[in-house]
Amino acid sequence: MPSYDEWNQWLSSHFFNPENAGLDVLLYITKELIVDIGRKNDLQITDSITDDAVYSSFIDIVKEYNPYYNATVYPEAICTRAYRVYYGDKPINNVILDRESPPPILPYLALFILADVESNDDGIHDNAYYSRLRKLLCVGDSVAFDDFKKMDILWNGLEKWSRYYRKGNYGYFRLLPISRMKYIKYPRSQALLMTDDKDKLPDIFYAAGFATGMLPNEGELCAALLEYGKYNLHKRTLRLLNTGDDVLKERCLELISLEFEEWDGNPTTDEESLGKAAAVRLRANIRLSLETTGNTTAFYLRLFEDDEFPEGGYLLDLDSKKLICRRKNNPRWSTRISTSSGEFYSELFDWRKDLTFCDSLNNYKARFKGKNILVFVKGEKECLPSNEWIEVNSLATDEEFIMLVHNERLEEVKSWGQHSAQWRLLAYFGMPDDWAMFYGKNPSVELKPPSGLIIEKSISMVFEGGVKVGRKPVTHLYIENSPLFIPKIRIHNAPPKIRVLALYSNKECFLEAIHGLFKLPDLLPCDTAIRIEVLDRNNQVLKTKNIRFRKPHLAADWGSVPHRNSSGDKDKDCQEYASGAKVNGVTTIAESGYTDMYTRIQRWAPKENVQYTLGKKPGQITNRPLQDNGWDAIWAITNTTVCFLQNEQFLKENFTIENYFYNLKVNNEEGGNLKLWKQLLIECSKKNLSPNLKSVKIMLEKFITFAERLD
């Protein structure tokens, strides 16, 4: 098994390397990562060694590492040993940080993080960090760790090394102290998402009715985690999401977003065990849309989903009504749900009640979530008509919106809404009874919004479009002369007059905003971190994010391409298989009748008198290729009028054209049927299309020219 120094080196190169230059580095260390790093770097860790064995060996090695004295290794003295390793043989306060690699303490720091992140549901309270550390080190409950408070020096030392000595060339180690936790603030701030919380995320995403590929915004994601994860997630995670520090919360949501991107759309557990929250199997949401024309409004329904629709769309049942919707020209929104005879107006049902629409043929259910406050934003940002507004779950602080409120919440909404810009009552024909409609802009964040309404307060930066090919940092594909693959930047909840700056390769470039989206330049460097900064009017940095671009490249590993057996099924073990358009492992398969020129010609034009083979010399011509003519047939032409045969050119295999013309002279003794040869070449010169190959074209032209000169 690997030594302490090897683990240190692997962890160093994993977290701090030139690829992370300019980027923030958090030591998000989990059991899975330790096992991966071990397997990647140590060839002796074979498949027969279990993940648990690799992980235990790492813990044991760190636990027992003791390079500076030979005394018995007490587990409770682990911090003392870490401290000693950090300082080495140097006097106190003279630790060497001006070095290429980080101080050799990463395995220790990893151990402190793992104690926090790997919980295993052992009944230990979320906040009982020391109990979990004791359990990891297999020591008794009464044991106290010597010098634990000195560990801050190690964390700070690593930050100092990355920021001040290496100037971020290997990445900036970020310390995000959680207040109120004096000694464990640093390990805890690195481990924002516990492993078993991560495992529960698919169930929560599923229960919340999210659709894959449609990353919800931070507010929606956070609300879903709090609602559907309240019985599943650890309390500390919920606390962090609910009232936590903004930076940590954002980082935690960022990690959850990465999990979302990997999510395949399925829950991890059976339907029954998902609990009440997920009892209704949501396939998609049905949302209201409203259209305003003049002083009239009409309400419709659309299916909000980016999954495939069956042929012919969905035929939904609602109270014995048959409703139809299709996908047309919009990757997320269906056509308006309609009846076979025309429009279906949604005023027919109570918008406060949940409704389930079923398509029994496709076993498909979609839910309309009933609310007494419905919020709409302009549909044109989702490529819907400009006079249509679509229902959303959250509002950004800089957004224009329409709010539909039932009378029972009217006073509450009015008192909140009047603090929004341009707040006014809209009086349209077509409004259902007991509902009022308001228009507003820049929703108020000073007052608590009415329950059920999410206002995105913190500034956020989203890359829209492009093709993502890497995660840390966000890496996008860069195709020269194809700016469509460059993502655009959307800033949510920004104060007025912000500017967005891109910093790369010693350049600074303010980005142009088009329809609210900031556009990166068309020419960008690849494999370099580009730092995007949002600046306010005083040039204060409000938000930063990094992005990197990569040129088109071939996949690193083709091993996962399915091997198909002769019936087309996946079969990894078969010796003979098709992979893509190639067939592998098959020794010889005869071509269907194309083995030589003569047979090919027969296949090509089996009728006589449409093709002729020619020899090297003028006069050598026949339309019976299999006959022994006393000369070697070299190439063929056709006299057919069937257009698709005219550009077929046949040459004898491995025949070199350039040596061919030396013999091009009239030799009546050897010439066979010179008259037919001349006639065919000249007649066929218009029938035979110019071949694609220059050499063949020249050959044909030379023969024709020669034929024309013959008497």
**Cα(169)–Cα(163) distance, integer angstroms:** 9
Q: How far apart are alpha carbons 247 and 686 in whole angstroms?
A: 77
CA distance 492 to 449: 18
CB of 704 to other proteins, least distance (A): 18
Candidates 562, 609, 627, 663: give the one binding other proteins (CB under 8 A): 562
CB 533 within 8 A of CB 543: yes
Q: Which of residues 664-703 bind other proteins (CB under 8 A)?
A: 691-696, 698
Residue 541 in 3-state DSSP?
Answer: strand
Beta carbon of residue 482, minimum distance to other proteins (angstroms, whole number): 5
Q: Within 454-483, which residues bind other proteins (CB under 8 A)?
A: 465-467, 469, 477, 479-480, 482
Site for other proteins in 1-40 (CB under 8 A): none
The residue (of 446 and 653) whose beta carbon lies closer to other proteins is: 653
Contacts of 297 (CB under 8 A, 6+ apart): 290, 291, 426, 428, 429, 430, 431, 437
Using CA atoms in the order 91, 92, 94, 97, what is the torsion angle rounded to 10 degrees?
Answer: 120
Smaller CB separation from other proteins, 362 or 444: 362
- Indicate which single residue of 24, 126, 250, 306 sits in contact with other proteins (rule: CB under 8 A): 306
Q: Which is nearer to other proteins, 68 or 655 (CB)?
A: 655
**Can the peptide bond before residue 202 be classed as cis, meaning omega within 30 degrees of 0?**
no
CA distances from 334 to 281, 299, 341, 376 (A): 20, 15, 18, 17
First-residue to last-residue Cα distance in the chain? 90
Question: What is the x/- site pattern for other proteins, positions 502-541, by CB under 8 A?
Answer: ----------------------------------------
Interface region with other proteins, contact rule CB under 8 A, candidates 76-84, 166-174, 327-335, 703-711: 327-335
**What's the closest the beta carbon of residue 307 comes to other proteins, in angstroms?**
8
- The answer to whether residue 642 forms part of the interface with other proteins (CB under 8 A) is yes
Closest to other proteins by CB, 348 vs 383, is: 383
Tokens 């690699």 — which residue? 101
Q: Is 134 among the residues that bind other proteins (CB under 8 A)?
A: no
Give the other-Cβ count within 10 Å of 711's Cβ. Answer: 5
Question: What character string, x for contact with other proteins (CB under 8 A) and - otherwise, covers 573-612?
Answer: ---x-xxxxxx--x-xxxxxxx-----xx-xx--------
279 binds other proteins (CB under 8 A): no
* Span near other proteins by CB under 8 A; candidates 326-334, 346-354, 521-529, 677-685: 326-334
DSSP-derived secondary structure for 406-461: EGGGHHHHHHHHTTSEEEEEE--BTPPTTEEEEEEES---SSPPPTT-EEE-S-EE
Residues 167-226 that bind other proteins (CB under 8 A): 212-213
Does 271 engage in binding with other proteins (CB under 8 A)? yes
3-state DSSP assignment of residue 364:
strand
- x/- binding map, residues 361-380, to other proteins, per CB under 8 A? xxxx----------------
Instruction: Give me the phi and psi of 342, to 5 degrees please.
Output: 155, -155
The stretch near other proteins (CB under 8 A) out of 367-375, 442-450, 520-528, 544-552 is 544-552
Min dist CB 688 to other proteins, Å, is 12
Q: Least distance in Å: CB of 553 to other proteins?
A: 6
